[in-house]
Amino acid sequence: MAAFTSKKPYWHIPIVESNEPLVPIPGDRFVFANPHPYAALGAPYGTVSPFFVREGVLVALEQAQSLLQAQHPNWKLFIFDAYRPVAVQKFMVDFTFAEVLQTRGLERSQLSESETAAILEEVYQLWAPPILDLKTPPPHSTGAAVDITLFDTQTQETVFMGSPIDEFSPRSHPDYFGNLVRDAIAEEDDLASADLAHSHRQLLNQMMHQAGFQRHPGEWWHFSLGDQMWAWLEQQMRGPQSVSARYGRVTLA
């Protein structure tokens, strides 16, 4: 597959590794995606669990859930994905690339190198490149990133967010439903549903941000704390002072 050509804006952020351990996310305090979506596709986790994060990230997740339940006692954070080895990152990049080709009726063998690279760049808007360089690790490989939504324990269903996690469309943008021109809402996006989705996304972001997380600029569900993306977003908010990442790539045995 063609190599990526564009660089992520946070790759220049230095990593000062804290050596904080990866710890399991308690299944009795949060709700997990079951079966795990990528493992169900055949992603090569081996014996490694995706439901691990750095110790400090777990503390912040528990704080975010406490803030959430102060407003909605019956809601919990739904952990869709957390720790992700680089091999799994590569698997999902390849899987999404193949999905895009199938959706567009394209054959890999018929694409030019530039056409392949252009599609791959689209895929890299959703998935970080599966790089092995320790200076530029994929966020999920650091144990600092989580993909989450909200879960209602009364209905036993996830809360309406307007689009599923990992949807390869403009709806994945955090403010998609807030920025819709009201007289040009897509047929399937009625005004009431759009407003509800936007309010739920805002609530999730508010709780996570108060707990110290930063949200991915292009994904309503992706939050991180302590990795390069987090440090870069902190700089955008607080100014160009020096902010280092404290979590680099880590491997579970």
Enumerate the active-site residues: 219
Pairing outcome for strands 31-32 and 75-81: parallel
Sequence-ordered list of residues with C-beta below 8 angstroms from that of 36, at least 6 positions apart, any chain: 45, 50, 51, 81
Query: For residues 38 and 238, what is the distance between their CA atoms, to the nearest angstrom?
Result: 35
Pull the structure tokens for residue 168. 């390869």
Per-residue burial over 63-100, b if 16 or more Cβ lie within 10 Å, else e, is bbbebbeeeeeebbbbbbbbbbbbebbbbbbebbbeeb
3-state SS assignment for residue 79: strand
Pull the structure tokens for residue 18. 């804290």
Please name the residue ranges forming H helices in 163-227.
Answer: 176-179, 191-210
Phi–psi pair at 230, nearest 5 degrees = -55, -50
Give the number of other Cβ atoms within 10 Å of residue 15's Cβ. Answer: 20
Give the count of alpha carbons within 13 A of 178, CB side only: 12
